[in-house]
Structure 1
Amino acid sequence: MNDMPAKIDPGTFWRTLGARAIGMTIVTTKGEDGPAGFLGLSAAHVTADPATMLVSIDKKTSALAGVLSSQCFAVNFLDADAGHVSDAFGGKSGLSGADRFVEGEWTALETGAPVYGQALGAFDCVVEDVIERGNISIVIGKVVAASSRADGEPLLFFRGKVMKGFAAA
């Protein structure tokens, strides 16, 4: 009974995790040098009462400093037409920092963290707790505002590729 299971290598971990389709999510904040954000594929809900979200942020991610200093972040769920936003925050467009926030596409809710205007949904959060684990910070936030659209299809990430929408079962 004391036999520990074998350690799973990172390649196996990511390949297995990639078998789960997830919505493309951009996590944004207001930093000292302007808006900041990153592709947040590990954003998740914690509980609905009280409404709480969490995001895992690699310590190398420049937006982490903004989240910690402003004590706020927004979780933006991208629609199928937001491939350019996904590319910008995923490092495929050559843009970085505040240059990824195209004027006219962004707004704000309660905290001032940037919210993508065409997001399928967005949660605006204030930081409640930060848990350090390995090379990431798990940031837990209380939802203070939310918005959602009744139309549109999601931009998905599945097996390492971005996909538009989904086929209903």
Structure 2
Amino acid sequence: MTIDAKTFWRCLAERAIGATVVTVDGRDGPAGFLGLSAAHVSAEPPTLLVSIDRRTSACAEVIKRGRFAVNFLPADARAIADAFGGRSGIKGAARFALGEWTTLVSGAPVLRTALAAFDCQVSEVIDRGQVAIVLGLVVAATSRGEGEPLILFRGATRG
């Protein structure tokens, strides 16, 4: 027995999660998306996972380039979350005009004001339904050590 996708998403929305933006230095410029599933896998070796909808342009870029960054958004980054979540009408590389971006090791964009950011090298891709579950070995990380997170809850951001 399975449930329908609408019920699945409605129930998942009852869990508050920290807002993340997953980025990649794409061949045609930077790309990214609002990540709802960034999670740690292991501390030894340091590994994260992200689930990426295969329909997003960033998915193909992450897999081709073999790298990505995960940015934990601060409470004042609602406009960035809306842009990368497709709610603002801003598309493509224009989303990176919001905020200041830098890089660590891989070249993937890292938000300077992120609470923390992880630079990852793709170590494995698992296909599951319409998503690619991407495991990334963390090659660099940075943390501000202060600030409050932007939270996603019931489909809205709260800071």
CA distance in structure 1 between the partners assigned to 2:98 and 2:71 by the alignment: 16
Structure 2: stretches of 5+ with no match in the other structure: none
Which of 95, 108, 131 is 2:90 aligned to?
Answer: 95
Which residue does the alignment assign to 1:112?
107
Q: How big is each residue's C-alpha offset from its partner over 1:83-137, in whole Å with a ceiling of 9 and x where there is no partner?
A: 1110110112211111111176100001010001100001100000101111111
Structure 1-normalised TM-score?
A: 0.91
How does 1:20-169 map onto structure 2 within 5 Å? 20-102=15-97, 105-164=100-159
Q: Which amino acid aligns with 1:158?
A: F
CA distance in structure 2 between the partners assigned to 1:112 and 1:88 by the alignment: 21
Runs of 4+ in structure 1 off by over 4 angstroms are none
Q: How big is each residue's C-alpha offset from its partner over 1:30-81, in whole Å with a ceiling of 9 and x where there is no partner?
A: 1110100001111111111110001101110000121112110000000000
Structure of larger gyration radius: 1
User: Match of 2:125, SS?
Assistant: strand
CA contact (8 A) 1:31 1:65 kept: no
Structure 1: stretches of 5+ with no match in the other structure: 1-5, 165-169
